[in-house]
Amino acid sequence: MLGHREPIELTITSGEDYREIREAIRSLCTKFPLDYWLKVEKAEAYPQAFVDALTEAGWLSALIPEEYGGAGLPFRAAGVVLEEIMACGGNAGMIFAQMYTMGTVLRHGSAEQKQKYLPEIAKGNIRLQAFGVTEPTSGSDTTSLRTSAVRDGDSYVINGQKIWTSRARQSDLMLLLARTTPRSEVAKKTDGLSVFLVDMRAAVGNGMTIQPLDAFINHQTNEVFFDNLRIPADSLIGEEGKGFKYILSGMNSERILASHVHIGSGRWFIETAVKYAKERIVFDRPIGQNQGIQFPIAEAYANVVAADMLTRKAVALYDVGKETGEDANLARLFSAEANWQAAEACFQTHGGFAAAKEFHVERRWREARLGRIAPVSHNLVLAYIAEHVLKLPRSY
């Protein structure tokens, strides 16, 4: 039966949950107004001051357990942090990777690795934001990646290339997926992939090279090259050859956090469009009096609210340890679409002024467009739903 699943009792709130966290983030963001983000983008810089403020306030360690010096907050609370940053006009895309990449260490890292790195991340002494998976030739076909890691005594030797590795220049650690057994030698193409936690402080200049990659938004993304990079064998996360499973286990959390980013962004677009529609006078009346302006904003609002409820359901399942594949993907699909619809409505409401950087709409509009293809494209989400939810034949 369509949609048939075992009943699960969940508490899903509406309205402003975690109000204290929301108010704290709003207060922090007042120190970093829209003009701050415009200056950061014009300089193609990293928002170091903003990240430092978040770190000092403890928000980047929200998901690190208290035993390692973190806040130990629920997953929903971390999502609320990201949502409010976006709703205030900031760019949470610059920082949220640390939250989901760290989950791989939490779930699959050894006790020694957790004790070595998590307290230092919680203190803000080191940063984990680089995620090396995508490659120029494989793209979304992760099992076809070519970066190799060959065991050599007490080390692994890594060769290959990664692309779209955001914030590699601002990170101390990288979560890296590489093939430890050639694809021709494994029974399943998902076997033979391993995850490593690479200390980039020692790697850059000693086999690792980072090259900035220009893009249509300031996302601080890069190409990363590995040329006989030698790393300690204890950099391996979990079991050798099981890395694909470890990465997959983190993708649902990535999709859910990304959904919070889209919801916050959609809220900003709607609030900005409503404000402008009330203030902009044409033919002696506010443009918001025209249904041609009203209806797109109203429809965008409805879709953001609906996407928000899907996201709340997904994160509620995640927080109680239930399977979230379907719900995480649905939340990601609808939140990204709702955000883009809100971006379009806001752009149209502003007319020609939307193209003026001083209004900040075009910058946020470009960021919203990226959300429909990264960190996962809509087609891959639909392929997941078709195969794993509707049980249609696999299309790829």
Q: Within 13 A of 354's CA, how many CA atoms are on the CB side?
A: 20
pLDDT for position 2 = 56
Whether 106 maps to a domain, the answer reads yes
The domain of 34 spans 19-127
Domain shared by 263 and 318, yes or no: yes
**377 φ, ψ to 5°?**
-80, 155
Whether 3 maps to a domain, the answer reads no
Whether 6 maps to a domain, the answer reads no
Q: What percent of the chain stands above pLDDT 90?
A: 81
Domain shared by 111 and 137, yes or no: no
Whether 8 maps to a domain, the answer reads no
Which of 127, 144, 164 is the C-terminal boundary of a domain? 127
Domain shared by 144 and 102, yes or no: no
Whether 377 maps to a domain, the answer reads yes
Tens of pLDDT along 131-152? 999 999 887 788 889 999 999 9
Average confidence (pLDDT) over 69-73: 92
Q: The CATH number of the domain where 108 resides is what? A: 1.10.540.10
Q: Report the helix count and the strand count for the chain, using DSSP H and E.
A: 12, 10
| Four-residue CA torsion sign, 258, 264, 270, 276 | negative
pLDDT for position 1 = 46
Which of 104, 127, 150 is the C-terminal boundary of a domain? 127
Q: The CATH number of the domain where 332 resides is what? A: 1.20.140.10
pLDDT for position 136 = 92
**15 φ, ψ to 5°?**
80, -160
Domain shared by 26 and 94, yes or no: yes
**Identity of residue 393:** P
Whether 4 maps to a domain, the answer reads no
Which of 90, 111, 127 is the C-terminal boundary of a domain? 127
Domain shared by 294 and 381, yes or no: yes
Predicted confidence band at 3 (pLDDT cuts at 50, 70, 90)?
low
Q: Which two tokens stand for residue 184?
A: 């021709």
Which residue blocks in the chain are alpha helix, DSSP H? Answer: 19-29, 34-42, 48-56, 75-87, 97-108, 111-123, 200-203, 243-279, 291-319, 325-350, 361-370, 378-384
pTM value is: 0.94
Q: Which two tokens stand for residue 331?
A: 């939340």
Domain shared by 196 and 288, yes or no: no
Predicted confidence band at 4 (pLDDT cuts at 50, 70, 90)?
low
Indicate the number of domains in the chain.
3
Q: Which residue has the higher pLDDT, 374 or 201?
A: 201
Tens of pLDDT along 7-52? 677 777 778 999 999 999 999 999 999 999 999 999 999 999 999 9
The span from the CA of 230 to the CA of 61, in Å, is: 29
Domain shared by 256 and 367, yes or no: yes
Q: The CATH number of the domain where 228 resides is what? A: 2.40.110.10
Whether 103 has a pLDDT exceeding 90, the answer reads no
Whether 99 maps to a domain, the answer reads yes
* Range among 71-75, 122-126, 136-140, 302-306 with highest mean pLDDT value: 302-306
Whether 40 maps to a domain, the answer reads yes
Domain shared by 287 and 350, yes or no: yes
Domain shared by 166 and 218, yes or no: yes
Average confidence (pLDDT) over 348-359: 96
Tens of pLDDT along 212-226? 998 888 888 999 999
Domain shared by 336 and 379, yes or no: yes
Domain shared by 226 and 309, yes or no: no
Domain shared by 358 and 382, yes or no: yes
